[in-house]
Structure 1
Amino acid sequence: MTDKKNPQLTQAELMAQFAELQVEVRRIAELSAQNNRKHEGESSKSSAQGNTDPLNITPPKEKLTLNNPFSEEITKYQMPKNFAQPSALEPYKGFGDPRAHMKKFQSMMFFNGANNEPVLCRAFPTYLDGATLLWFSKLSAGSISSFEDLARSFIDYFAPSRIYVHGSDYLGTIKQGQHKSLKDYMTQFAEATMEIQDLDPAVHLHALKAGLRPGKFRETIAITKPKTLEEFRERDAGQMEIKELREAQKTNKQLHRRDEDKTFRSNNKEPKKPFKLTLKFNTYTRFNTKRENMIKEILNAKIVKPPARAGNYQDQRFINRSKHCAFHQKFGYTMDDCIVAKDLLERLARQGDEHKQAGPDKNKKEQTTSDPPRGIISHISGGYAGGGETNSARKRSYRAMLAIEGTLKPKKEKHPDVTISFNQVDFRSASPNLDDPVVISIQVGELLVRKTLLDLGSSDDVLFYSTFKKTKLSEKLIQPFSGELIGFFGERVPIMGHIWLTTTMGEIPMSKSIDIQYLIVDCYSPYNIIIRRPALNIFKAVVSTLHLCIKFPVQENRVATVYADHQEARQCYNASLKQIQTKQGARP
């Protein structure tokens, strides 16, 4: 991870710093040599004249001006009046091939008319920057007498920068690939070869052939075997022309097909007829009151649902605002012009006539017949008890239940049946309110879990995610399960997964431990765990909501009893009521 305070330097910046360090090291070495020579001279003088105080010796000061490394002939040369330096060449900063920079500088200078060495020597420092300019400033005075000397000194000093230039081996890494066109491949290859100095044409051609992707063009090259780059480029140009021609033909065919489809559709299209409502009845009843008042009374009495307000398709500027339809709540026409309202009133009037003709006996008979139920309110369902995760699994479970029910006799168990009964002795609470939920404490694994609700009306044992986190168990133990729990009013809670946990009811020796499969859900609940029909059936437990206790058989045909905690049951019940009130208050 990159530190924000010390960002990573680019390769160019590193090379520039490296070059500056080289120049600085050489400068320090030269200063050290000069100081040594001066020190030797002074020591010889001091030996003759006597010892001097070292504190009085002043170090040499760094020179701030540039030395003139050119000879007297180059310095005194008068530059041409019409000479203009090339502006397209970027300064060399110590990164890249110095030979390439030198050749590019010479070619641009030749283009501008400068072909003598003094002009080249005096113009070259203007295209140096950073470490290279520092190098030039450290050249000794009068050391450059020709452009050849300057070029050789420049190339020798910055020769290490060439290690970052690609060689001929780099061409072997360029491949066409499956999604790259031949034109893009040739362009990339040409750009790479421009950076390689003295590239052998045979190596160039071999790498160009090896990078082609398998296909017809590669097979053609393998058969024809071009011996020069020119022959290969002729084959390549022909292949690209063929491909471009095919693409153009394909595009023209697609456009032609689209035009044909549009023409076919436009010819086969029948002109749309304007939509117009027609009257449903031949004759209409004459009413003593206005239709508008009757429609308002029908809507207020909620005999029919008001129609959805239709959109405005006409220009609102030309609509007559003096006319209004109370049924559709629109301007432009009155209630007498509204065909829908007119048909509605006629239909209601004819239904009223039919009821009158039916007679009083029929009406009495209809009143004594109760209306069928509008629906059925079921319990919370879903999960494993419903038969499985998918609809097909639940259907198979239901068909198997229908096929088995009534055909097989219940199996007799080896152990004798234990009679479980409740009597007056099982009443433990002095509270007059015995309608509280049955809330007990159970042991799950090594933890005692309070606020465990016993719910006989649901089909899945639920462990809430907040309780699971308190057990400090690894979430890797949760097995995936894709499904939802469906509540009384159709609300759906997604299931995170399921887990098997050892559950113990009662206290030793009157206790029983069984592995229970819990569904884990992440939602609010005042309870920690909800034990429902599957677990109660495994325990063979019987719950008495009247006595607020649960009984189940244990070893030696004995019956264990676990009583509910009335205080925790009342707290959980009050908390659930507050949650319901909060949700109702949040609704708009």
Structure 2
Amino acid sequence: MEEPFPKDFRFPTIKTYSGTSDPRAHLNRYRAAMLMTGASDAIMCRGFFSTLDGQAQDWFGSLPEGSISTFTALTKQFMSYFASNVQKRKEFADLYHVKQRPTDSLPEFLNKWKREVLGVANIDDRAALIIFRNNLRSGPFYRDLIRYPPKTYNELMDRATRFAEAEVAEKRKKEEEEGRSRKNKAPQEERRAPRDCAVPRGVHEDIPKVDPNKYSHRKRELGQLTEEEEVELDNPAPRKKQAIHVIFGGPEGGDTPAERKKWARNLYVGEVVRPPHEKKPRREPIVFTEADLPDGPLSHRDALVIKVEISDVIVHRVLVDTGSSVNVMYYDTFTQLGLSRKQLGQVRTPLSGFTGDSIETEGSINLEVEIGTPPHVKRWEVEFVVSRSIALIT
């Protein structure tokens, strides 16, 4: 207590120790802080009490008077009393388990290695060089260590830090380039036609086309075609088109299971077949006569369901309702046709459902529609109102 303080001495602020954590860490912090003040051994002993709290203060107060003559003696007593709280340091051999996993980047592995090394006692730099290289995954950095082995552990860490920073910068640069590539590609994809049929004529005229029947034509020249092959070559099968099935699910035909089963048994789906007739004007309307009706009692509540071709796509299960004032296309069908929202026009009049609620629409679009089977085919332009609602619309 008689030891004078150094000139301009200020006792450092240190986190107090209550006796529940590692005493070794507290001693290291205390020594480091007091070393900067130039305090003597006696001042080190005198100031140590102010860094204690709770159980540790009780221990200090229980020391017999005159039992401490140096700070080294105080340190031994302190470490001995709180020895149970000393954290066991890892062995050098534990570093063999610190490996770079397939999912670890170089920065992640380097941070994990440094954390483990801090807890290892008596680390050997030369052995650490070998373990670090063996635990490293193959790649540019591993090849660099093989070609130019570092001489010291510090040189290894410096080189590893530079490679890790380069890897982070390269990853960031790649993400920026991919982002610009996607940004530049998006407008081109929007301008691209959704189907081959929408490409203007003449665009692909200069591209040579491969004749799928070239082999058959060659056999015809040599007189090797059979009668069936001759017929097939003269009447090639039409190109198979994409199909979209529209109507599905829902309590059609009634509110009870019995009514819906009865409706399903009476449902008739078929194609209209008419005998050949003389050529008529181009605007010949498609009509259905009594001959087209299915067998069964009249009047009936059967739904008229047909298939039509829209934008070169066969759309199945199209419900024909002569009482509707608009032609409704659900948004799912619209997207399957490969159409874009930019092609939609504005619809100013809202639609009304069976419940009386107004149904918002996405817009309207005019599409070319084809109905019938060759040679009985009719083409015309139809305006469709696109809606997301799955409720029936009046």
TM-score tier, shorter chain, comes to: 0.3 to 0.5
Larger % of helix: which? 1
| Greater Rg by CA | 1
TM-score normalised by the chain length of structure 1:
0.31
TM-score normalised by the chain length of structure 2:
0.44
